[in-house]
Structure formats: C-alpha cells, structure tokens
Amino acid sequence: MAKRLGENFWGDFFRLCVAVPRAMKVTLINLFRRPVTVHYPDKTRNYPDRYRGLLALTYDKETGEENCIGCRLCEYICPPQVIKVEMLKAEKRNFAKVFTLELYACEFCELCVQVCPTDAIIMMKSFDMSTADRRELLLDKDRLHQIGLQFEPSWATGNLLRDMQTPPKAPKAEAAEPAARPAAAGPAPKAGGAAE
C-alpha cells in the first residue's frame, strides 16, 4: 500500500514539474509582446467596411427632407419589435409623424435597413452610445437624425442590399436562326441507300 502511494506521489510530482514550465513559457512569451489593447476614447479603432453599428435616419441630400415615408415596413419586419412608426399623410408624399427605436433591445440584424424602400434607415460605423440610463437608449425621430449626421454611415443601404441579393438576369437569347433553308432540288434520299 505504501509502495503504491509512493508511486502516485512521484508520478504526480513529475507531471507538476512538466506542467509548470509549460505554463510559465506562455507567460514569458506574452510578457514581452506589444500590447494590443486600444485605449478608447483616446484612440479609436478603424472599423471594417461592413461594420454594423448604431441605427440612424437620413435626410435627402438634394431636397433636405427626411427620407422616411412612414411605410412601417421596418416595424413589421423587426424580430424583437423595437421600432414604432406612425404615418403622417401629406399632399405630395407621406412622412413619419412618430418614429421610435428601443436601441437597448435591438438585435442589429439589419433587416429594417434591407426592407426600407427609400434608404431612410441605415447603420452607422459607430457603437459609441454608452450610458448608465436605459431611457437614453429609447431614441425618437430627432435623435435618430442627429446620429445620422454625427457618425459615418456604413456601406450598406436598403437598395444596395436588395440589388446584391437579386439573382442575375439570364442573358438575352441570340438572334433567331434563319427561318427558311433553301429547298432541295429533288426528293430526299432514303436512309441507307441511294435514290431510286
């Protein structure tokens, strides 16, 4: 019994002597590496082109009017149902009378951006909206327009995403073959033999 305990002790001691230097090797390697931490907000990261951050509403660049027509497609497609829209009907076009977004429950799935027919709602290349009060993450129409003017927009808009997902059109058929062929001088020969 004592012999078996002695064997277990020395086996465990050997495994410990192998494991400690292996773990210390990883520690020593990382001790002399350059840090990879970005000291935000003093330094900002460069985001990838397809980064999806905060949601925002846009204005038409030519007329200065808001792009949202209050169609409520974004409200209907939103999985967590965090968007609420009320339409204001006008003579020339419709507008969103009320547009609210509960950012604290948003999944950032980009479905609202994909269905928007006027590219009114887009995603920005920023996440910088931290707060200690959840009420500040309940965004109204004015706040969403401010975010759209404050941050750089992401690459995607609804029309661009729909164009990318549309299957390519089949190539047009080539010109029709000539309709008539020249008629043969005589009757056609029978298969396997000469004409009689």
Rounded to 5 degrees, what angle do the CA atoms 89, 90, 93 make?
Answer: 95
Residue 74: left if φ>0, alpha if ψ -120 to 50, beta else—which one?
A: alpha
CATH class for the domain made up of 55-165: alpha beta
**Closest to 98 measured CA to CA, from 138, 157, 47:** 138
The reported pTM is: 0.65
> In this predicted model, what pLDDT tens digit does every residue of 91-134 receive, in sequence order?
888 999 999 999 999 999 999 999 999 999 999 988 888 889 98
> In this predicted model, what pLDDT tens digit does every residue of 160-185 receive, in sequence order?
888 888 888 888 765 545 555 555 55
CA 23 to chain centre: 40
**Residue ranges covered by each domain of the chain:** 1-31, 55-165
Please give the pLDDT value at position 40: 81
The C-alpha atoms of residue 179 and residue 195 are separated, in whole angstroms, by 28
The C-alpha atoms of residue 15 and residue 19 are separated, in whole angstroms, by 6
